[in-house]
Amino acid sequence: MAIASTRHILVKTQEQALALKQQLAKGGDFAQLAKKHSLCNSAKKGGHLGEFAPGKMLKAFDDVVFKLPVLTVHGPIKTKFGFHLIETIYRS
């Protein structure tokens, strides 16, 4: 079974997500931005969600984590929780 380790930043608006993605593109620190801006409980851990298997997250989230390139920030991805910037650290 596939397993992935992921971190994300969750914000309310697409505009916020795009602004944070620009900061990351300019060398911003993912963990620091997550701690400061993310609405998820994972913010305390720099956005780290730990390891999980397919089907444990919402489909839109899973599609990014298990189908798109690793070590790349993807998003904004919209879910019922808001807008996510998602980085898959590794996937097996």
Q: What is the pLDDT of residues 26-50, one digit of tens each?
A: 999 999 999 999 999 999 999 999 9
pLDDT-based confidence at residue 5 (cuts at 50, 70, 90): very high
Instruction: Report the C-alpha gap between 43 and 34 in whole angstroms.
Output: 5
The residue ranges of every structural domain in the chain are 4-91
Query: What is the layout of strands, in order, in the sheet containing 73-79?
Result: 48-52, 4-11, 82-91, 73-79
DSSP-assigned letter for residue 19: H
CATH level 2 (architecture), domain 4-91? Roll (3.10)
Instruction: Report the C-alpha gap between 5 and 7 in whole angstroms.
Output: 7
